[in-house]
Amino acid sequence: MNNPPLNLEHLKNRLIALRQELDTVKKIGDQATEPVELDQTRMGRLSRMDAMQAQAISVAAKIRREAQLKQVAAALERIEEDDYGWCIDCGELIAAKRLEFDPTTRLCIACAEKAEK
């Protein structure tokens, strides 16, 4: 199976754009993770429960964003170190289509399937 050559500049630009998008969303999302005020004179019990649930969802989203930012940083570092596009488990070249779909991926399809089992 032929693997088209990687367009590293294109993938690097996608990773940089993704990092900028995540940073922007992070600034907005950080406000939603602030503690919920429990003043019963200002807010009813159900409203507080809704606010606490929304806060918990925001905290989970923040954790996912931070993990994504780490993946993007690691991918950019692999590009700089000329290690990008190689599977970290088997050392084989990762398919260009797979990297185009997810430029942060570190595993070839075969190793990713093994890891899922």
pLDDT in tens, 4-23: 677 899 999 999 999 999 98
| pTM for the whole structure | 0.74
* CA–CA dist 62, 35 (Å, integer): 14
- Look over the chain and give the mean of its residue pLDDT values, rounded to a whole number: 85
CB 65 within 8 A of CB 26: yes
Mean pLDDT of 85-109: 95
pLDDT in tens, 25-57: 887 766 655 565 555 555 566 677 787 788 788
